């Protein structure tokens, strides 16, 4: 596998109204659990929400609902050989934001593996 290689792209739509912080934590938890589900052993979570990165890296505990997502990420990360959670600037996360806009009218999840929309491939090639 090459650095920057596109392996999987997935989006999951939920009919909920979350705060931006809760949505970022939920997306990160979905991504980590999805990587685990697919059997990846070395995972790097890149997130443009600094609060998510800090909470996961410090294994911070709390009593509000957002901490359930943080705990899910931390728990899932224990199954990997290596796990890194790092902050990236929003502008460096354009592929993730593109995937988040995918249409999922007929399904809750949309997953692409090995065959990707040409627009996504072109965007990855630009990075």
Model pLDDT for residues 99-116, shown as the tens digit of each residue = 776 676 677 777 878 788
What are residue 45's DSSP bridge partners? 85
Domain formed by 10-126, architecture: 2-Layer Sandwich (3.30)
Report d(CA 31, CA 37) in Å as an integer: 10
| pLDDT, tens only, 7-56 | 888 878 877 888 888 988 998 999 999 999 999 999 989 888 999 999 99
94: Cβ–Cβ under 8 A, 6 or more apart, which residues?
123, 127
Find the angle CA(63)-CA(69)-CA(71) to the nearest 5 degrees. Answer: 70
């Amino acid at each position: 596998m090459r650095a920057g290689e596109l392996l999987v792209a997935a989006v999951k739509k939920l009919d909920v109204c979350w705060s931006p912080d809760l949505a970022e934590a939920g997306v990160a938890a979905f991504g980590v659990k999805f990587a685990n589900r697919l059997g990846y052993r070395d995972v790097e979570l890149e997130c443009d929400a600094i609060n998510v990165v800090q909470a996961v890296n410090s294994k911070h505990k709390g009593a509000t609902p957002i901490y359930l997502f943080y705990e899910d990420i931390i728990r899932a990360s224990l199954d990997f050989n290596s796990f890194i959670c790092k902050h990236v600037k929003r502008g460096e996360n354009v592929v993730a934001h593109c995937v988040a806009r995918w249409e999922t009218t007929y399904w809750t999840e949309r997953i692409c593996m090995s065959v990707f929309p040409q627009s996504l491939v072109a965007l990855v090639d630009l990075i």
